[in-house]
Amino acid sequence: MNMTKGLIIDDPWIGFILDGSKTWEMRSTGASHRGWFALIRKGTGAVWGVARLVDSGAPLSPDDMIAAFEKHRIPAEMIRSGQVAKWNTPWKLADVRKLSAPVPYRHKSGAVTWVELDERASSEIVRQLGSISSDAKSETTTPAPTTGFLQKVRDVSASKPTVPSPAAPSAAGIVQAKPVPSNGHGRVIGEVAVTQGNIDHNHIYLRSIFDRFPADAKGGSNKASAAKKDIIVDWGGPEPVRTDLDGEKKFFRARGWIGSFYKLNRAKTGDKVRFEETAPYRYRVSLVR
């Protein structure tokens, strides 16, 4: 098995692929590549799994896309609105494998669609997946139980013919499901106000509560000076986020999920993000108005 290529995919779409509920990655053009490639979670600088690209279909009409919801997870309302009109070509996946631990890689400048993996990252991926052969036959993962975020997508799409959702293969769009509320079992460590700048640029100001996070989860201003430990953030998406904190900007270093969090909760200027500590190095964020 030779793992040289990777594809950057945003949440929640990479989560749907990794849990087996999404088998088509929608793109704006076809793909000549066939075979294994790495699944890179946007904003993390790491590979989280692998899949085989077995086919690239013809562009679909809006009606065809709506009918194929179970394959790509883009609900109908977003399709009808034209927001995803460009992303109508299915890349058909098989043999999805989730890594036991994310593998960091060096992103080369100029990479647009495919990312060329460095040798160290490639070797570590192959090590973790040593039992997979390059000619493995299609064997999709078992879908996770339809609870939480995934169930919301299905509930909304079952209740009416259209449901809002993602904007592109790696876009940060999210279905307009109900926000995930706090269940009261965490220790509230603070709330911070949402600004329009936060919404526009996918970040959350942590300055006022920064001292309430573990010191060893706070790093420098770039990935090279990352903290010794990560924290885990449960935000209502299909999978939690693992990240450290940028000690200079006082942000979460991984920010790809934040735009999705704002869209999921329909955040507006003046709303507040509540932070709860649910376990050591684990936090839940929710929106309050």
186-202 pLDDT per residue, tens: 789 999 999 999 999 99
Q: How far apart are CA 236 and CA 61, in angstroms?
A: 31
pTM of the model: 0.51
Predicted pLDDT of residue 133? 44
Q: How far apart are CA 51 and CA 41, in angstroms?
A: 13
Residue 154 pLDDT level (bands cut at 50, 70, 90): very low
Find, among 71, 117, 112, 63, the residue nearest to 90 by Cα: 71
Give the residues across from 26 on adjacent strands: 90
89-127 pLDDT per residue, tens: 999 999 999 998 889 998 877 766 789 999 999 999 999
What are the structural domains, with CATH classification, of the chain? 5-63+86-145 (2.30.130.30), 187-288 (2.40.330.10)
Please count the CA atoms within 13 angstroms of the CA of 214 that sit on its side-chain side: 16
Report whether 193 contacts 215 (CB < 8 A). no
